[in-house]
Structure 1
């Protein structure tokens, strides 16, 4: 079987609530979900999810190849863009192709990807999330009650502007999840909104009031010295890595002892996640994949020895996608459908699209004052 072509589609995810973080919020709660379809001469189609605007530049590296050679083709794509670099949009395209190739490999074996990757158990433990920064207090409580009803005993909230609000929300979510555990695991994600001294000062205050499991992306993603200073100064673990594009970018963090929970963005593909996870495992560090639509990386997470928990962001799927997995008992239960277990109804997504994550006011645009705020800022005066 050979790879013959590709097609791109765009659907939408209706979250049913505002979604975002300290950097911005999509108030409509409807976001775009790009879909890449990799076609073959054998009639099978591989599905990859995520931005892939640079696909035309990457695709020649895999065209005409056997899709089962996934890891070799991953390296071929990296080599293909060797001079111009593989970060950003280019890495997104590589990741979408990689995801689709793994989908094809498992479909050719007529088994779910978690089986192809060597997992013994289809259940992947997770933690509740939900890009909850834009929710009012009552909406916030209702959101985490829905996770408690699904058996979750761990949660990550979004914060970073108002320390008092962050602490109150950590305590509120902890109390809600205590129906499932006497000591729920609580995490705080500030999406690179602090500088090093702010992080040290804020974490000292937080840890006086709650046993924080980890602080996520306290400072800029590449700041190995800063992350190392923070992990030495606090009891909580420091988690980071979701925005690093390539295994090489983790080396400074590893060398500096700057990361305690190694994260990888689900949008960067399956091969990337597995390589980061094994690098972390060689250093006795746990790994945690950051969530994305349809949870495709859960298949790889099920097969790894050092996976501490996958972020689960929503209970619903993007329009036109059916996904063979169940979210219950505090995690993801993967199904038996071949490949990723994702089916695309093209007729339903013909009109596609939602708000862009990078749109004005969205969470993918860094505010000018990030890391430079001297006083707390209430996110929404109406709360």
Structure 2
């Protein structure tokens, strides 16, 4: 079997609500979902989800190759751009190709990817996380009630600008999950919006009111000493890593004892997650992939010994995607369809003519001018 070419599609995800964090909110609740289709001479097509604008730079490294040599091709893609570097959009393209390669490998074996990767159990524990900063309190509670109805016992909220408001929201949502657990896991994600001392003071205020499981990305993603300083000063765990592009970027965090919950961006692909999970395991640390459309890395999460919980951001899937998994029992129950278990209805995609964009000036993917430089509470 040889790789012969690729096609790109784009669909949308309708969230049905504003989504975002302290950096910005996308009020339309519609985001673009790029799809990569990797074709072969065997008639099989591999599917990868995520931005891959640099695919033309990456594809020559895999063209004509057998897609089943996934990890070798992953390193071949990295080697093909080593002079210019593999961060950002280039790493994203590599990750999307990697998803498609793993999809092909499992399809060629006629089995779901979780089984190809050696998992025994197709159930992946999760936690609820609705990208919910833009929701008023009543809508926030209603959203998390829907997650609780699916059996979740832990949740994560977005916050970081108004600690009193954040505590109110945490209390209200925690009350929802008490129906499923006497001690729900409570997480807060501030998306790199603070400096070190701001983060310590912020967590201290929350921990006076309730038990906090983790604080996520309290400072900038590369600030190993800053994460370590926060970790030494608070009782809860420090989670970070979703925005790091490459295993080598985790090394300073491990060396500084700066991370307690090792995260990976699901959009960076399967191989990246597997390698980070192994490195975390060597440091006796749990790993937790951050949510993404159709939860593709959940297949790999099922196969590693130190998986803690996978972030689940929504209970529906993008337009035109049929995904063989159920969100139930507080996690993701993966199905038995070959590969990632994703089927594409191109007619449905063509009919969905709306478009969305994370990176509008007021959206969560654009860092505000005064992020990390605020003296006090801001609404």
TM (norm. structure 2) is 0.99
Per-residue CA shift, 1:177-196, capped at 9, x if unaligned?
01000000000000000100
Per-residue CA shift, 1:229-270, capped at 9, x if unaligned?
000000000000000000000000000000000000000000
SS in structure 1 at match of 2:348: coil
Q: 2: distance between equivalents of 1:289 and 1:154?
A: 15
SS in structure 1 at match of 2:148: helix
SS in structure 2 at match of 1:191: coil
Instruction: Report matched runs for 1:172-187 at 5 Å.
Output: 172-187=172-187
Instruction: Report matched runs for 1:326-341 at 5 Å.
Output: 326-341=326-341
Q: Which runs of 4+ in 1 moved over 3 A?
A: none
Q: 1: distance between equivalents of 2:50 and 2:314?
A: 16
2:288 is aligned to 288
2:234 is aligned to 234
Deviates more, 1:350-359 or 1:27-36: 350-359
2:376 is aligned to 375
Is 2:132 aligned against 1:132? Answer: yes
1:381 is aligned to none
Shift of 1:354: 2.2
1:245 is aligned to 245
Per-residue CA shift, 1:24-61, capped at 9, x if unaligned?
11101011000000000000000000000000000000
Per-residue CA shift, 1:314-347, capped at 9, x if unaligned?
0111000000000011000000000000001111
Is 2:358 aligned against 1:357? Answer: yes
Aligned residues: 378
User: Mind listing any 5+ residue stretches in structure 2 that lack a counterpart?
Assistant: none
SS in structure 2 at match of 1:299: helix
Over the aligned positions, Cα root-mean-square deviation in angstroms equals: 0.7
SS in structure 2 at match of 1:120: coil
Per-residue CA shift, 1:3-26, capped at 9, x if unaligned?
000000110000000011111111
Q: 2: distance between equivalents of 1:44 and 1:360?
A: 40
> Could you tell me whether the CA contact under 8 Å between 1:104 and 1:339 is conserved in 2?
yes
Is 2:146 aligned against 1:146? Answer: yes
SS in structure 2 at match of 1:199: helix
> Could you tell me whether the CA contact under 8 Å between 1:33 and 1:353 is conserved in 2?
no
User: Mind listing any 5+ residue stretches in structure 1 that lack a counterpart?
Assistant: 379-383
> Could you tell me whether the CA contact under 8 Å between 1:10 and 1:353 is conserved in 2?
no
1:55 is aligned to 55
